[in-house]
Structure 1
Amino acid sequence: MTDIPRRTASRTAKLAGLPLGVAGRAAAGFGRRLTGGDREEIAAGIAAKSAEQLFAVLGELKGGAMKFGQALSVFEAAIPDEYAEPYREALTKLQSAAPPMPMDDVDYMLTQQFGRGWKSRFAEFDETPAASASIGQVHRAVWKRDGREVAVKVQYPGAEEALRSDLRQLGRMSRILQPLVPGLEIKPLINELRDRMEEELDYRDEATYQREFASFFEGDPDVRIPRVVGSAPKAVITEWVQGRPLSSIIRDGSAEERDHAGNQLARFHYSAPDRAHLLHADPHPGNFGILDDGRLLVLDFGAVARMPDGMPPELVAMTKYALGGRDGDLMALMRSAGFVHDGARIDQEQVLGYLAPFTEPLETEEFHFNRRWIQRQAERVGDLRSPDAAIGRSLNLPPRFLLVHRVTMGTVGILCQLDARVRLREIVAEWQPEMFEPDAPTG
C-alpha cells in the first residue's frame, strides 16, 4: 500500500527545490551581466528556464501543485510569446494529464468506498485510467445493471495531505514565482485555490452539483452534462460521454471549430449563474469538449459556487456604467462596493481603461479573442511605469467577488487560446439584459 508520508515529503522536496533553481539562475544571470551580457536577453533566458522547471515539476505531481499548474495554464495566453513559447507544451499537458496511480491503490480506494464486492457492480472495468486530474483519476467501465458505459472517478490515496502540503509550500513560494507569470497575481490565486479545493475533497458534494447542473441543462441544444450514476466520499460514477477536448481544438482546430467552441463555452459560463444559480469554478480546457452534435461537454464539478442572485448585480452594474462611459456612477459604485482602497485618489477616466478586458469584448457584435489582445492587457497593468498599474494598486477585489472574477478571467483566457471570434454581447444580453438597458426614469 502507498506510503503517504514518504510520498508527501518527496513532492514537498521537489517543490522546495524550485526557488533554489530560480535563485541560482538569477545569480548566474547577474554574473553574465557583469561581463557585458545583454540584460533583456539574459532575463528572458532565466524566465524561460525557470518556467520550464516549474511546469516540469508541477506536471509530475498531483494535489494542489497540479491544480495550481492547471490554473496557470488558463492564463498562458496572457504571457508574452518570448517567455511562453519554451514551456507552452508543458502548460497544455497540465490541463489533462498526470501520472496514474497503481491499480492496487484504485482497488483499495474503491473497496473503502463501495465494499469488497465493488467489482460485481461492473460488467467491465478498464484498469488503465482514461484520464488523470489533480486529486483523482478516471476509469472507463460498464455498469452491470443496465449496460451503460460509465466513468469511475477515484480519489488518490492521501489526496488531502498532498493538497494541503502543496498549497502551503506554494504559498511560501508565491513571491519568487510571481515573475514567471507577469500580469497575474499569484498569492491571491493560491489563497483562493486553497479555499476551493477543501470543498473538492468530498465527491458527494461534486455529485450533488453535477446532478443539479444536469437537471438544469437537460435537453439543452448547446450543453451536455453527464448524469450521475452513484457516489461516495472518495469516488463518483457518471455516464461516460466523450467529446473532442478543447485542448485538441486549441492545438489544431479549424477557424470554424475554434469559433464554435468559443461561443459554446461563453454561453455556458454566462448563462449558468442566472439559469442554474451555479457557477462552474474550474475553467481549464481539460474540463470541456465538443460533441459530434456540436454541444459543449462539461466535466468535473468539484469546484462549483452557488449564486442565488445570479451574476453579482454590482458587477453587472459596473460593466454597464463602464460601457456607457458613466465614470461618475462607476466610481461611486466601486467605492460603495469596496473596490477602491479607503483614501485612494483615482482618475475616473483611467478606471474605464483599466476595465478594458471586461468591456472591450462587449462593445461590438463580435469580438476576436486572441493571445496578442490579452498580452497587451497584461502588459498594460503589469508595467509598473504604466498609469494603469498605478490604478491597479489603488483598487481592491473584495473577497465575495474573487471567485467569479477568476472564473471569468479563466474563461477569457481559454477564449484567447482558442483564438475565437465570439458574439459575446449577444450572449451576455440574453442572460443579463439589464447591462444594456437604459435606466428607468426617476422622479
Structure 2
Amino acid sequence: MGKLTQRAVLAAKPSMGRDGKAVKRSYQDGDGLFLICAPTGAKSWMLRVQVDGKRRDIGLGSLDDGSGRKAFAEGDKRLDETPLMLRKRLTLAEAREKAAALRKLAKAGSNPISERDRERVKVPTFAKALEEAHKALKSGWADKTAKAFKTSLEEHALPKLGAMPVNVIGSAEVIAALAPIWTDKPEMARKVRSRIGQVLAFAKARGWRSDALPDARELRSGLSRQKRGGSFAAMPYAEVPAFFASEWGKAETASRFAVLFVILTAARSGEVRQATWEQIDLEARTWTRPSAIMKMKVPHVVTLSDAVVALLERWTPENDLRAGLIFKGLRGGALSDAALSKALETAGRSETVHGFRSSFRDWAAERMPTLPAMVAEMALAHKVGNATEQAYLRSDLRDMRRALMDAWGRFVAPSLSGVAANVTPLRAGEAA
C-alpha cells in the first residue's frame, strides 16, 4: 500500500530554502514512485528503477487533480480510452498503475523508457521505411548499388509490402512478396530477400518494430526449392589451353584479345575493359589497377607472366604510342561487356567471361596445392582472412602470386611462355 493519499497529494507543496525561496520537494509513495513538487507548485510523477545496474529516474506525467476532466462533457470516454502509457496527466491511482507496469518490465530485463514511449512512435509503412533507409544508407554505397537497392524493392517488394506497417511484417508477408520471383528469378529473389531484411533491420534500429527479423530458414521452408546453380558458367580448366590456342590463331580483334587477357590475368571483365597502357609496366611486369576500376574500390597490382607480355606485344601496332585504353571499341571508347560475351559466343562457347576466374581458381587448387589458398584469393583480388588476420597480414604476397601467375601462363599458353607443346615445367616449390 502506498504512503500517499489523495488529500496529501493535493496538499503537497515545494520546500522553502534558507533564503526564503521555494525549492523542489519529493514525496515518496513507495516502490520507487515519487510525487515531485516544483518550485512553481507544478506537480508531476517520477519512477525510480534500476536498469542495467544503473539508477534511472523516469518521468510518468503530471498530476491530474481532476480539474482537467471538467473540460469533457458527461459520457465522453476519450480520456478513459487513451492508453495508460500515453496519458500525460495521471491521478494517484493511475500513477501507481503505470509505475507498477514499468517496474515489472524493468525487472524482466526490458527497457521501461522504451516501453513507455513505444506507443508514441508512429510506425511507418514499408514504403516509407524504404525511403528512410535508402536516404540514410546510400552515402556508404556506390551509386549503382544504391540505385539497385531501391529499384529492386520498388519493383518486387512494394506491391505486397508497401502499404503494411513495418512492425507487422513477418515471415508470411515476406514469403508472399518473394513467391512470384523465387523460382523464375532466383538471383534477384535472393537479393530482394536480403534487402527486405536490411529495411526491417533499419526499422528495428529506429524503434519502429520490436519483433525479431524474419528467419532465413523460415523463409526458405515457405518457398519452393530453387534450381541449383546461379554461379557464372565456367570452362573446365583442362579445356582452357586448347581454347586459348584456337583463339590465338584467329584474327586480332579487341574483344577477342580482351578475352585472352582476361584468361591470363584472371581479372574481371570490367577491369580489363577499363585497362590502360599507363597502368602497365612491362619492365616491372605489373599491371597496377586503380581503385576506380576495382569492385572492392581498393588498388590492386597484377603480376604479368611471359604469356601476358607476349599478348601485349603482339596486340600493340608498331605506330601505337601505347596510351589510353588497351582494348578499344569501334568508336574509340571502352568495349562493352556484351562485346566480350559475343566473342565467346562466336567461338562456340556457352560459358561466361567471368567464369574464367573460376577456371583459374580450380586449376590453382588442383595443380598448385603447395601454395596457400590465400595466394590464389589475393590473385583474384578477394579479401582474405578475418579482420584480425587482415590487420596482421601486411604483405600482398607478390612473389608467391608471381610464381602462381607465371605457372598459369605456362599452362594456358605454353607457346607464349617458351615451353614446347602443352607441358608446364615446374619450378622449385611448384606442385605437379
TM-score, normalised with respect to structure 1: 0.23
Higher helix share: 1
**Bigger RCO of structures 1 and 2 (CA < 8 A, at least 6 apart):** 1
